[in-house]
Structure 1
Amino acid sequence: MMTERLYAQITCIGDEDLVSKVQNSDKRYKFIYVFCNYCQASQVRYPEVVKLIHDNKDMDSFFICAQDSSEIAEYVDTCKVASTMYVINQNRKRKMVSFYNPIKATCKFLKKQLGVDTDKMGASDFCVLDKDNKVIAQTNWAMNDEDYFKLLKESLNIRSAD
C-alpha cells in the first residue's frame, strides 16, 4: 500500500498581500498560526495542528513565519506535513551580527496589520478570526498542551449563525 506524502508549500509574501489574503478570505473562519522552526513548541505542535485543521472546510489557515525562507524549506523537508507556509519580512536588511527575532517580527505583523493582541503570543500560538476578522479564539505562551489542543478542537467545531 502506497502512503501519500504531504508537503508544505512555502510562499514568500509581502505584508499587504498577506493582510489582503486574510481579510478577503471567503471562509467563515481564519486560523492564524505563529511558526518558528527552532522553537520546541512549534516543532511539537505544528505537525499535529496541521493534521487537525487539514480537512476543515469552514476555515482558511495561515501559517506565518518571519524566518529566512531557506530555513523554513529545510524544516518542511524533514517535517513532511502539508500546509501553506507564508514567509514574511524577506526584504529586511541583513546584518553580520543580528538580534532579529522572527517570532517577535511575526507577532508585530499580526498586531500592526491585523489588530491581534499579541502581547502574550509566541511561536506555536494561534488565533482564530471570524468572517469579520475579529479574534474569537487565541492561545498564549502560558498555555499547557492540554488547554492548547482543547481550544484548537473547540475552534474547529465553531458554528455560528450568519
Structure 2
Amino acid sequence: MDPITVLQSRIEQLEAKLGLAVSSTPDGQQGDSATSHLLNAAQTMNSATVGHEKLTEAVNMANELNNYTDPNFVEMAVPVLESEPIQHVPEMQATVDNMHQAAAEVKAEADAVSLGIQEIAETCGAAAAAASGQLAGAARRAEQAEQKLFPQRRNGLD
C-alpha cells in the first residue's frame, strides 16, 4: 500500500471513531471530512508557494532559526567556542580597548585641527573681502582722478 492510501484509511478510521459521516460529492471529493480539509489545505499551500523564488531562501532561514532555537545548539557549537581564536578574545580585548582610546584621541585632535582650519578660512575670507573693497575703492578713486585730468570730450570735436 502506498503511504497516501495508508494515511487516508487511518483518517477514515479516525473519522469513524469520532462519528463523522463521510459523504461523497458529485465530483468524487469527500464532503466535510478531515481528508478533504487536508487536501484543501495542501492545495492552498501549493497555490500560495507557486512562483515564489525566495522560498528556498526562506526555508534555509527557517532551518537556521530552528538550529539557533534548538536547546542543544550550544552543545553542537562547543567545538567552535573552544577554538584558539575564541580563547584569545579576552587577551585581545585590552588591545581593542587601547585602539578605541587612541582612535578617540586622534578624532579629538582632528576636530581641533578642523576647527583651526575653519577659523583660518574665515579670517582669509574676511581679509579677501576687505582687500577687494579697498581695491574697488582705489579703482573708483583712480577713475575719478582720471576723469578730472582728462575730461570726456563730447563729440570728439572739443
Shorter-chain TM range is: under 0.3
Q: Which has the larger radius of gyration?
A: 2
Question: Higher strand proportion, which one?
Answer: 1
Scaled by the length of structure 2, what TM-score is found? Answer: 0.16
Question: Higher helix proportion, which one?
Answer: 2
